[in-house]
C-alpha cells in the first residue's frame, strides 16, 4: 500500500478514468441485441456476446462499489483498510473490463471481418492489455527497486 494514511484522492482519480470505459461498453452492449441483424448471428457469437455483457456489467459493479460502500460506511473509521479493500475491488473490475474488451473486440470484428480476424484481433488486444496494464508496471517496479 503506497498511501498508508488512507487518502482516497488517487483512487477517485483512477475510478474517473476506468468507469467511463465500462459505462460506454455496457451502453453499447445493451443496444446490440436490438439491432436488426442480431438474430442472424451464430449461437457461438451470442455466447461471446453474453460473456462480454456480463463481464462489462461486473466491471461497472466493481468500479462503483467503493463509492457506494464509502457512502454507506460514513463516517469512515479505517481509511487505509477501506482503501486496500476498494483497491482489490478495482483490480477485479479492471480484470473484468479487460476480459470484456477482448471479447468485445472478438465479437465485433468476427461479425464485420470474419472469425479469423476477430480471433486474431482479440488476442492482439489481450496482449496489449497484458503489456500495458501488467508488464509495464512490473518492469517499472523492478527498475525502481534496483
Q: What is the pLDDT of residues 88-100, one digit of tens each?
A: 999 999 999 999 9
- Size (the chain), residues: 146
Residue pair 28/55 in contact (Cβ under 8 Å)? The answer is no
- Model confidence at 66, pLDDT cuts 50, 70, 90, reads confident
pLDDT of the residue at 4 = 53
- CB contact set of 18 (below 8 Å; sequence gap of 6+): 59, 63, 90, 93, 94, 97
- Model confidence at 128, pLDDT cuts 50, 70, 90, reads very high
* Among candidate residues 55, 80, 85, the one with its CA nearest the CA of residue 68: 85
Who has greater pLDDT, 7 or 126?
Answer: 126
Long-range contacts of residues 105-108, Cβ cutoff 8 Å, at least 24 apart: 106/48, 107/45, 107/48, 107/49, 107/52
Amino acid at each position: 500500500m503506497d498511501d498508508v494514511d488512507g487518502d482516497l484522492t488517487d483512487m477517485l482519480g483512477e475510478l474517473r478514468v476506468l468507469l467511463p470505459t465500462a459505462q460506454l461498453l455496457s451502453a453499447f452492449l445493451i443496444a446490440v441485441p436490438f439491432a436488426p441483424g442480431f438474430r442472424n448471428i451464430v449461437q457461438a457469437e451470442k455466447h461471446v456476446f453474453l460473456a462480454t455483457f456480463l463481464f462489462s456489467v461486473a466491471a461497472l459493479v466493481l468500479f462503483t462499489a467503493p463509492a457506494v460502500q464509502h457512502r454507506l460506511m460514513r463516517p469512515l473509521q479505517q481509511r487505509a483498510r477501506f482503501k486496500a479493500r476498494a483497491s482489490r475491488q478495482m483490480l477485479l473490475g479492471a480484470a473484468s473490463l479487460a476480459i470484456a474488451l477482448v471479447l468485445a473486440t472478438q465479437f465485433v470484428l468476427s461479425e464485420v471481418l470474419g472469425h479469423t480476424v476477430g480471433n486474431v484481433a482479440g488476442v492482439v488486444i489481450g496482449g496489449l492489455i497484458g503489456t500495458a496494464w501488467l508488464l509495464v508496471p512490473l518492469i517499472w517496479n523492478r527498475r525502481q527497486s534496483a
